[in-house]
Structure 1
Amino acid sequence: MGSVLSWLTGGRTLEVPCTVDIEQTFDSLHAHAIPEGVMLRPGDRVVVHGVPPGVDYGQAISFTCRATVYRAGWLERVWTEASAILELTELYHCGFEPKEVA
């Protein structure tokens, strides 16, 4: 029974290495964290450990650290996929509103 409940609700965690790339320059402002050796699915959460709070302007750094992946269960994956589709249709909806005549 425990494995069925865990399959539905999630709760499994994985510790994996993670490549982090942070840049704050004129050309780019980004922070990417890429967990290695694991395929992320809808609803999964990733917590990256040991990352600096930021970089100074003009800097770009890249390093490897550890990350914890919290696996989503079946219910959370289905909910995440459904809500993403509904939010996407909201973008379509607001793009085609007729103009009101003044």
Structure 2
Amino acid sequence: MAFARRLISNDDLRARTFRGRHFTAGDWRILLELFVATEEGRRSPVTALTNAPTIAKSTALNRIAEMIDAGILLREADPGDGRRFFISLAPEIHPWLNEALAEMARSDEPPAPE
């Protein structure tokens, strides 16, 4: 039961962090993939983001397009391959994700002794 409560708390935190904007589990997966890629200094082509087992390829493409339109993600053409595009987090989104993940990690820590 404690684990279920933490999951609910993390969902609530995610909603608060993104100013009440609802993200599906697939959206969250895309954001996390991009966060990790940014931290590792990698670029993410669209195809890499549509291969997650938790979201259908067509749905992932639609959600990526919606998040680009909302200013959450950025799309950049690959200068070496005109058929490929890279997706990245908008600059202001990375710090939001970083803080949300840090707060989620803190919520998973055992309480400090009193």
Q: Same fold (TM over 0.5)?
A: no
TM-score (norm 2): 0.27
Structure with more strand by fraction: 1
Q: Which has the larger radius of gyration?
A: 1
TM-score (norm 1): 0.29
Higher relative contact order (CA 8 A, sep 6+): 1
**Greater share of residues in helix:** 2
